[in-house]
Amino acid sequence: MAAATQGNTNKQPHPGIDRNNAVIALRGVRKAFGPMEVLKGVDLDVYKSENVVVLGRSGSGKSVLIKIIAGLLRPDEGTVKVLGSEIDSLGTRALQDLRSKIGFSFQNSALYDGMNIRANLEFPLVRNKRSLTRKEIDDAVAQVLDDVGLSQTINQMPSELSGGQKKRIGIARTLILHPEIMLYDEPTAGLDPVTSEEINDLINEVQESYKTSAVIITHDLTCAKSTGDRVIMLAEGNFIRQGSFEEVFDSDDPRVQHFYNYNFITKT
């Protein structure tokens, strides 16, 4: 892969972003669970080759948002268009085909504990591309392991890996299908600062090498600074700020300032 953007720096917008091509388009999306309204009519465009970070406190609706984008949840109101297709209009087969173009990196990595790393990586490949030869499968597994820097883990079990390694393997498993869109759910949650920086760098490497567009859900401001071409803050069911990292936090809004202070100011 290409050289990574180093962590703790403000990412410059990727030069390949095509602002005439929205690969994700949400309009008026609402979602409630009982009396709790989580999303209150949000609009969102994510452009080709763009990494968009959505920031918010726990319970703000960030994970609900990407599950709606992936078609895992249906909105109560509004439209969701991904790669030109309106998700609500798709049948089961068409939705499955669309999901094969979306890589979903779950917060807990979602590896199968009873399978070694090779089998974990092969699983989505053989399920979606049944005509591949054994050599093609082996080559694809070797390539994604090399891309995430973990070739040596191919015969290990998930229980033998560190938290950071599991995150990398989870990302590798999505990359094996060469997705056009990546969805990252709290990619640095539970990781130490050094490992978090490595994951941030990997997200940028994936964008560069696989030409992906991405939505990155996080409450980690260092992750947001390092990976986001554009940053959006979600609070109280709405997007309250968006722009560069500096533009988002150049605000007197107490919801914005409290979020920044919680992340970056050491409490005594």
Question: Which pLDDT belongs to residue 80?
Answer: 97
Q: Cβ neighbours of residue 244 under 8 Å, at least 6 residues apart?
A: 10, 13, 230, 231
Task: Identify the CATH number of the domain defined by range 18-101+179-264.
Answer: 3.40.50.300
Residue 65 identity = L
Q: What is the pLDDT of residue 268?
A: 40
Cα–Cα distance, 145 to 142 (Å, whole number)? 5
Q: How many helices (H) and strands (E) does the chain have?
A: 9, 10
pLDDT in tens, 155-188: 999 999 999 999 999 999 999 999 999 999 999 9
Indicate the helix (H) or strand (E) that contains 208: helix 193-210
pTM of the model: 0.92
- Alpha carbons 165 and 199: distance in angstroms, whole number: 9
Q: Domains of the chain: which residue ranges?
A: 18-101+179-264
Asked if 146 contacts 172 with a C-beta cutoff of 8 angstroms, the reply is no
pLDDT band of 83, cuts 50, 70, 90: very high
Q: 35 φ, ψ to 5°? A: -80, -5
**What are the residues facing 48 on neighbouring strands?**
18
Measured in whole angstroms, the distance separating CA 142 from the mean position of its chain's CA atoms is 23
The confidence score (pLDDT) of residue 113 equals 94
d(CA 143, CA 137) in angstroms, rounded, equals: 10
- Look at residue 265 in the predicted model and tell me its pLDDT: 56
Question: How large is the angle between the packed helices 134-147 and 163-175, nearest 10 degrees?
Answer: 130
Q: pLDDT-based confidence at 264, cuts 50/70/90?
A: low
The Cα–Cα gap between 178 and 100 comes to 9
User: What DSSP designation does 153 have?
Assistant: G
Token pair of 123, please? Answer: 């699983």
What are 97's two structure tokens? 């085909």
SS3 state of residue 164: helix
- Quick: pLDDT tens for 13-52: 999 999 999 999 999 999 999 999 999 999 999 999 999 9
Across the chain, mean pLDDT equals 91
Cα(39)–Cα(28) distance, integer angstroms: 9
